[in-house]
Structure 1
Amino acid sequence: MTDQAVDNGGTKVSAEGQRPAAESAPTESQFLGRTRELKELRADIERAGLDTISGRKAPRARVLLIAGKPGSGRTALAGELARQVAESYPDGVLRARLSEADGTPVPTERTARELLTALERPTPPGADADALGEALREALAVRRVLLVLDDAADAEQVDALLPDTPDCLVIAVSGGPLTGIADVRPCTLGGLDTKAALELLGRFTGEVRITVDPLSAENLVELCAGQPAALVLAGGWLASRPQSAVADLAKHLRGEGEDGPAPARMFRLTYASLPSAAARILRLLSLAPAGLVDPHTASALAGCSVSAARTTLDDFAALGLLRPMESPLPQYEVPGCLLPLLTALTEAHDRPAELQLARARMLERTVRLLVSCRAITETDSSPAREKLAGMPRALRFPNPRAAADWLRIRQPALLASARLAVADGELDTLARRLMAALVRAMVAHVGTQAAAPELYGIHRLVLDVAERRKLPRERAAALLNLADLDAQTGRTPEALARYRAALDAGREANDLYATGRAMESVGGAYQELGDYDRAADWYGRALSERLARDERVEAARLYGRIATAHTYAGRYGEALRNWRAAVTGHRKNGDLAAQARALSELARVQEYAGRPEESLRTCQEAAELARRADDVRLQAALQLRLADTLDRLGDPAAAKLHRVAAGRMLGDELPESASAREQDANAYEIRSTPEED
């Protein structure tokens, strides 16, 4: 069997596009050959390790290594072994690919995050590789899981992901030995045996073409060195030429000489037979992000229609030049053993300007798809409807569910597109537009909290571009976004440093929004750190800016934040003064709900200050305003506060009435503080770069 059966290049995703807790074993297999290797690997699972022989319990999972060159069928062998032993691991099979399509090692942080997501465990945005690796080991410590790590570049990648329990099994796939991991014996792959190789060819050509000339077929297998990738290309070549004999292909392949490995020689023969237009499209697929191709990507790269691109991709898959992926959407993967060959052909035949134009078309198409993906969620908006109506039919989604499915399934390729666009350095304007569109689409479909881990990486890319291009406005926006996510995950000192850097960038850009937002956020960070004097000072600076610009709504809210800082510091007099200013501001703005919340907090501070009678009157006033504002949750919270105050004043009968009233409003639900909800809603806003679609 060949590498045709590999997964999608990341943690395994089900056919419906959902990430399961773990992949269950398939019920049947189309795998061919490798009987001896499978027997050895299964025996290696059962053999006693060095720790067991020495009388110690194995501290970590057993690692089985399948070593071989790309195209040798190493990934397919790992998949077949996983299928055969999956029943012994009831918590399922997890898969991850540790190298990009071009051979670049995948950061451990990203792999650990994908595996934790597959296990439905939280992945804090911005967490480093050590923290995520530890979280992964904790998650696997209570599970019996089979972990398949494909295309490992070195031992460090595997070691960082090893479960600290002998109940799990790791199958690692690599090009060579993993020196540094104890007790690992590699299973090194050569070519398929002749019987399995002939059967593989027969799946493409039919058995008759093999049996009528068995000597030529065996000769072809020998010329392909039994390498599955070369045999698949040979089978595709023969299938596309039903009138050609196996001997004809063997003759052509001998004409290629012995320069390079068998898959490379068979690829050159297949490539030479392609029409010039198809050959150009194939070369340009080397630019596809993460080696993942869909009809839109191919269409944009080649400058042809989507339907023509789909037909061409299907033709390439039939020839063995692409691998169809298990997905509800048409998706393909460029085989890792062919990608260097395509890249070399691209560099030899296509001018740099043409390649840059193809990249730009691909990024522009991705931006338009992301804009469409977000716009379908805003059909109540007239501008969104107009934007959708103005798009070609091929770029429109039939409904929000289809758009969400596309976004989820294509997310690995979309994130890879962003990384490649930033690394390119010559398409920064498109890169900024792409990242802004990706942020907005993910927030629209997934929500800010759920998308936070991916958003963190995107905002770091935005920051890279902003610093490279010396764009202070975009730099301020990226720093604010990153600091917000740092603050949400408890990294307050890091958030504080980024807020202050955002303030400097905002001042450089004369961005009033960024400077005001950064000042307030600096105050919030100091408050979280318990430095209430500095918190009140920074809130005061932000308030001065708002008052100077006559931003009354924001000024009234900031009076409340200053009052909160003084309350935490025990300065009740200052807190009362600022809450009264907040109440006055909300009243002038005509915001009954905000006025009621401010009065509620004023009553709380009055109670802290030992003024229960004043607190009672203020709370009653707030309850009336909440009733007029139709804020049921706040009404209920105030009724409970009135009950507590009346208890302290020695009137339990009246207190009971207020509790009953609160119960009627919300049943058994205990309302949270409305002011706390307000602060949470305003404290950490996710803001993308101010780039228009």
Structure 2
Amino acid sequence: MGPLELISDGRSVKIGGPRERVVLAALALRVNRVTSFAQLMEAVWDDDPPLTARGQIQSSVSALRRLFTDCGLPEAIKTHASGYLLNLSDDDLDSERFSKLVATAHQQIAERRTADAAATLRMALSLWRGPAMDGVQSDHVARAASVLDDGRLTATEERLRLDLELGRHEELVSELLTLLTENPWRERLYGFLMLALYRCGRQTDALDVCRRARAVLANEMGIEPNQELRGLEQAILNRDPSLDSPSDAGSRGTGEHVACPRQLPSSIADFIGRDDHLAEIKRILTDEQTDAARYAVPVIAISGRGAVGKSALALRAAHELAESYLDGHIYADLRGLTGGNATSALLARFLRALGVESVLPDDLAERIEMFRSRVAGKRLLMVLDDVTSEEQVLPVLPGSPRCAVVVTSRARLAGVPGAHWIDVDTFDDATSMEMLARIVGWPRLKAEPEAAAQLVTYCGGLPLALRIAGARLASRPQWRIAELTRRLKSEVRRLDELSHRGLEVRSSIALTYRSLPEQAQRLFRLCALIKAPDFPGWTAAALLNTDLRQAEDALERLVDVQMLDTKVGEDGQLRYSVHDLIRVYAQECLTESETAEERDAALRRMLGARLALAERAHRKEFGGDYTILHGSEPRLDLAEWDTHDLIGCPMKWLDNERAALVSSVRQAAEAGMDELCWDLALTLMSLFEIKGYTDDWRETSELAHAAAVRAGNRVGIAAMLYSLGTLHMTQNHLADADHSFTSALEIFEAENNLHGQALVVRNAAFIDSTWARFGTMLARYNSALVKMRAVGDLIGEVHILTSMAKFRVDEGEFDEADRMLSGALALCGQAGYERGVTHVQTSLSELYLATGQLGLARRALNDVLRTAREIGNRVGEAHALYGLGVVRRREGRMDSAEATLAHALSVAEGVGDRILVGQARHMLGDIAIARADYATAGKHIEQAMWLFEELGMLLWQAKALILLSEVHDDAGENELMKADLEQARCLLAGIGAKQSDRLLRQLDEARSALVPESSRG
């Protein structure tokens, strides 16, 4: 949003020549989406690319990759079959940050948070440094960038509308004049300027603006101003009251009233961000009461964690309502005041403030009666701050409904009858930034935007933390913001740094902690061991080494005092989380109160529980410990837990717990728990494979592998080599997979681990099949099958039988394939592995297709597709779509086949299945040939060829060459056609399988057709 720049560590990095700048701009305009070669060539050369265009694009991308690597982003640009993808987070790209802030502003507008929305839009617009992609020499980029520029102007107009609504008309006149000079055809800007001028008392100038708008639009565009402008002109002529500023319309009288007492402390000057809460409080205390509520004193109960700004909100509301309560305002800070004597002393204070000079009765009940008699019929406002229990509130509630009470508490005081609850949460980033700006000024924040954003993150949206951080910066004008963020970076010292001249975050949290019973205090400390974003209730049972009921009681105590947050997960279960600054305090308490042995034991229980539950989820899904290895780490005993209710649907449970499970692998690695680490990482492999979570798969396997290497855990090393090899295989990095499997097999054989050998050999055989090494493949599958049967892995047998059946189908051995698939189905039933049936159905569909049973093939693939979508298996979805596309091609339904295969291609590209990408393009090329669209066919087949060659898929490479020969034949390129067929012959000659022999016979027939009859013999 401005000149194209690449910023790293606060410095601008030289991008390169004009071509590199255009390529980067084109990729950035389609961030996180594939930009095709055609689009890149159009951006660089418009409609006239040179013959070397593709090579020049690749060279430019290589140069850009080096730049991103130097900036610490080596994976920023990813290669796809059709082009490249710029992979950046929302915070890495200014246009994405802008869009995110604008979306936040729209949400705030919907929530009627006008001031917040205006501030958010200002922050979004401050990201702009000039016209989008300024200086990039490309008509294509300029056209795309114009959309960004239009979005900027639209956001500006919306911000102006909000500012007018907030009564800031005087500030806007000069800005609107400038904007209209630059954008004379934007009718909304004319309307805004007219309204701003009118509200400034400049009616004549406002009408003159309308006349100028009419002249510009008529002369330049030949149109009249729209109805909105014409209506506004008429309203200005009539001095319509609806045009008055909201601030003018809402002004109140300032008459003086004598009232006693006036005990409210002053409100803070930098109060911000609670407009909705303020409006709700004022509405409740000023609206006419219903008949039911007319005789009860209205009570506002503000709850929230320590340091979140409850007291600030209560006092601001009290001050804004002061004129409605002319008989006085009384205030008390109840922190630490408990028991009957404290209540009696508090009532004495209130009575004296209300003018009682006589001797007060000693009896508490009599003092309560005296207080209620004294305030009867009065308009009195009472603020009770930092209440800890209902017992502090109930005795001092007035009896008169003309009074009002505002209570703040860290816990929800459910025992206060009729209370209207206001739950106060932390600030969002935009509000946090605006609060800091009020303390230190926007120029200082804008000078260090990244450090300011980090500071907001460290403060966690707590107003007290933000106020302390801002005060420290304000008192040290020579400090850079980065200096304070550096100090806050260390969690060990963060609470020490968030202290300034009597303000302290730690003491606020400590007050709540000390009020808890012992069991809840211990759970609070142990929560510091949880590194996941959130956690379910059973985690507390594991940490405390107690049953679920006791753990839930302790959790609820922490929730009551806002030391834990709650939300309902996607599975409907309650989940808990700890605010970052509260977690820091919990870590301090943990270190002080628990020995290293106690901390280690609690961590092992928690991680052991997650392993035990993940293991049960796997068993429930697969019917037993199939296709998995386990280590010797002790599991937490779950005998007293209802694991059915905890797990429910196994794959959904694993998905919901994914973040916590990945965090557990990380923690186990850091703690040196190598056996638990690799066991859990391998148990998670099935989830990652089905859902396509390759980043989590890689991270957990690499962490567990490193932990096993450090500990010399050879089985763990082999298990993780197997996992990493499977990941490489899934991503079609077959050479890397083959290397990992070879290393894993050597260790499993040395350790005499038969199950590990079976798993590795099974997967290595798949690589052989891809590389058309069918003899080796069959030997390995047979060897793996024997081992699977020896260890009783029924589902491992299923996988092998279905893979071998596929080969038998390709070889034309249909009876043998049918026998194998029938056996696989029987094994799925024996294990109770329902989802495995869909795996077998995929192979059955290929058998049906090969034997001409297209209806059966279609029904089987539709079942597979439905199941894949239900569980979110994107890889399975892509394969089912591909199979359906092939079926529809065979049925002659070309349009449907093409659409289905295009969808399969898109999904396959999304999950990175390059084998399937190549096969889908091959079939799309075949359809294009059938339609005599040889140009389209050539594009698809050449891309498929490139993939097959890269992956070493000789058989498919030969198939693609045979199709390509038809394209060259149509073009009259006989030499190229002959070369295609000869190359295909060379590839097929060394395979030695029935399917390759069939293709060779077809080639011989084609060759005979090419040779003139007179030259034969």
Q: TM-score, normalised by structure 1?
A: 0.47
Q: Highest CA radius of gyration, 1 or 2?
A: 2
Does 1 or 2 have the higher relative contact order (CA < 8 Å, sep 6+)? Answer: 1
TM-score (norm 2): 0.34
